[in-house]
Structure 1
Amino acid sequence: MSEYANFLRADLRLVILRILSEMPGYRANSSILANLLHQMGHATTRDQAKTEMRWLAEQGLLKLEEVGSVIVATLTERGQDVAEGRSQVDGIARPRA
C-alpha cells in the first residue's frame, strides 16, 4: 500500500472517532458514518466504513453491534482519548492543534 493510501486510511480512522465523539450517546450506524465521511472529504463506501469500524473495534476503540445490514458503533473511553489526542494508536492519524 502506498504512503498516500496509508495516510488517507489513518485520517479516515481518526475522522470516524471524531464524528462519534460528537454524536449523542457517542453512537452512530455505518450508514450515517459513511454519509458524514463523504461530507468531510472521504469518498468511502459503506463497506469501507464497516471495514474501518471493525479495525477500530479490534483496537478497543469502538464497540460494535450488528443490526440487520448496518453496524452500530459506540465510542469507548479509549477511543475518545485517541480522538482527542490524549492517546496514540499506530494506524490512526493524530489530531492537529
Structure 2
Amino acid sequence: MSEFAQYLREDMRLVILRVLATMPSYTANSSVLSSGLNHVGHNPSRDQVKTEIRWLEEQGLVTVEQAYDLLIARITERGADVAAARTVVPGVKKPGA
C-alpha cells in the first residue's frame, strides 16, 4: 500500500470517529458514516466503510452491531479520546496533523 493510500485510510478512520463523536447518541450506521465521509471529500465504497468500522472495532475505538446489511457503530470512551486528540492510536490520523 502506498504511503498516500495509508494516509487516506488513517484520515477516513479519524473522520468516522469525529462523526460518531458529534451524533446525539454517539451512534451511526455505516450508510450515515459513508455520507459523512463523502461530505468531507472521501469517496469510499460501502465495503471500504465497513472494513474501516471493523478495524476501529478491533482497536477498541467503537462497538459494532449488525442490522441486516448495515453496521451500527458506537464510539467508545477511547475512541472519543482519539477524536479529540487526547490519545494517539497508530493507524488513525492524529487530529490537526
TM-score calculated relative to the size of structure 1 = 0.97
CA distance in 2, matches of 1:16, 1:66: 17
Report the identity percentage: 54
In the other structure, the counterpart of 2:87 is: 87
SS in 1 for 2:20: helix
SS in 2 for 1:25: coil
Q: Which amino acid aligns with 1:86?
A: R
Unaligned runs of 5+ in 1: none
Please give the root-mean-square deviation of Cα atoms over the aligned residues, in Å. 0.9
Unaligned runs of 5+ in 2: none
In the other structure, the counterpart of 2:46 is: 46
In the other structure, the counterpart of 1:20 is: 20
- Displacement of 1:44 in angstroms is 0.7
Q: Which amino acid aligns with 1:58?
A: E
CA distance in 2, matches of 1:36, 1:82: 18
TM-score calculated relative to the size of structure 2 = 0.97
CA distance in 2, matches of 1:7, 1:76: 23
